[in-house]
Amino acid sequence: MQKSRPILAWETLLDLDADTPGARSSLRDRVERALRRAIDEGRLEPGSALPPSRALAETLGVSRWVVTEAYGQLVAEGVLDARTGSATRVSLGPGTALPRPPAPGPSPSSDAAPPIRYDLRPGIPDLRATPRSRWAAALRNALASLPDHDLAAAHPRGYAPARDAVAAYLSRSRRADPDAARVTITHGATDGMDLLTRELHRRGHRTILVEDPSWPRLRAVAESNGLRPVPVPVDEDGVDTDVLAALSAQTGARAALVTPAHQFPFGAALSPGRREQVIRWARAHRALIIEDDYDAEFRYDRRPIPALQRLAPDHVALIGSLSKSVSPALGLGWMLLPTTISPPISASPPSLVDQAALAHFLTRGDFERHLRTARSRFRHRRARLLDAIRRDLPGLDVTGIAAGMHLVLALPTGTRAAALTSGGAELGLGLTALQRYVTATPRRESLVLGYGNLDDALIEEAVARLALLIRNAAE
């Protein structure tokens, strides 16, 4: 009696016939998928012990090899945990996390700024929702599956499977015109910009058109590589392409750095007319558009806007990064370049293991799964933040809410954003003045409020504190 219960249970639990039609169907794959399904659907809980491979093989009526192979793959990915002398157990899976790191406490150094409790800084994803387990699984898989002969080989533009995976992702998700041969794996957008502007300088470029306002680090990198940034104003339709063309004629600039999907920091999408106009400019002058596709995945009310790159693959270099969509700690990104440009080979490319993990993360669909969850979380957070702002700060203009992880809050006349940022630090608020991103065009005093890393439990409290700060500043 006692023996028949587990046998029946395992047979039912691991339904080898539940595969979707058309899926690969070797027995080994079916056992692996059945285990995955049982874990994903919570029927096998974290920590539960699996039968020895011989016993499960007998129960399922398959050879032992089939089960050890399936276990081996899942152990390599970190989904199962196998320790010598003890049973193979479920270790990781959706909803299960690696041991949590300690909550952020005060910094050990006494002269550090007070900790930020209400994180309203732009450009930071939800650090609490870093997909640690999935990335750990990707790393384990990379280590387990990288062939020995690849370990010491040169990968000048990046590891081929990672470049293929990025090309496929950009085609599927950003509707870019992909060609794996044109993808370079980088440490992120800044690294891509560094490599690209070094090449532009080598080709004789000495200026670059840059949106004003814009993300300062990319400007700074261009400048450090000998390209003087020429600021181009932006409005509610994105960068002003008439002014861009005029400034190009005036300065001879033949490269432009733009954020067409989501202008940073105002949040506008480049209008269809301007998309065409900037491409016309690039074609007429054999110029290069650098498309900083920094948080295009987070669009809430409509489908994401396709990459500009697909309209003119010979004139657009797309730079992307996992820094804002997954975690800045990964230090991974990519560039998709026109065939005419080959950037210098990086002296310190991302580690091969990280690149192989990136390939796994993308091809398994973990990146898109992560994005779906993050998008839904940010959509709710944005709605609550907006409600709180309307309630506690009525009458203040909010812009740039259609996409991304931040919005722009215009301040009451006479209130200086810089004064709020220092006062806010004392209240535990991480605030950023719009002015930080502006180079030339005067703008209304505003704050750029990020909500990527704002704790959901603290949204209302954060806005109440901000409202207090703004009221006090006005008195």
Ligand X SMILES: Cc1ncc(COP(=O)(O)O)c(C=O)c1O
Residue nearer to ligand X on the CB measure, 218 or 385: 218
Site for ligand X in 310-329 (CB under 6 A): 321, 323-324, 328
Residue nearer to ligand X on the CB measure, 121 or 315: 121
Specify the DSSP class assigned to residue 114: P
The verdict on 231 binding ligand X (CB under 6 A) reads no
Beta partners for 203?
none
At residue 184, φ and ψ (nearest 5 deg) are -120, 135
The verdict on 78 binding ligand X (CB under 6 A) reads no
Among 125, 131, 158, 188, binds ligand X (CB under 6 A): 188
DSSP string, 40-99: HTTSS-TTPBPPPHHHHHHHHTS-HHHHHHHHHHHHHTTSEE--TTS--EE---TT--SP
The verdict on 218 binding ligand X (CB under 6 A) reads yes
The verdict on 225 binding ligand X (CB under 6 A) reads no
The verdict on 189 binding ligand X (CB under 6 A) reads yes
Site for ligand X in 328-357 (CB under 6 A): 328, 333
Among 292, 354, 366, 445, binds ligand X (CB under 6 A): 292
Residue nearer to ligand X on the CB measure, 66 or 218: 218
Counting beta carbons within 10 angstroms of the beta carbon of residue 331, is it exposed (0 to 12), middle (13 to 18) or buried (19 or more)? middle
User: Residue 320 CB, nearest distance to ligand X (Å)?
Assistant: 8
d(CA 450, CA 120): 5
**SS3 (DSSP) at 290:** strand
Size of the site for ligand X (CB under 6 A): 15
Residue nearer to ligand X on the CB measure, 382 or 465: 382
Residue nearer to ligand X on the CB measure, 332 or 469: 332
CA 107-111-115 angle, to 5 degrees, is: 40
Residue nearer to ligand X on the CB measure, 93 or 231: 231
For the chain, state the CA radius of gyration: 25
The secondary structure element, H or E, covering residue 263 is none
User: Residue 188 CB, nearest distance to ligand X (Å)?
Assistant: 3
Helix, strand, coil fractions of the chain, as percent rounded to 5: 45, 15, 45
Residue nearer to ligand X on the CB measure, 178 or 452: 452
Mark 107-146 with x for binding to ligand X (rule: CB under 6 A) and - for no binding: ----------------x-----------------------
Structure token pair of residue 94: 């959706």
Interacting residues toward ligand X by CB under 6 A: 123, 188-190, 215, 218, 259, 264, 292, 294, 321, 323-324, 328, 333
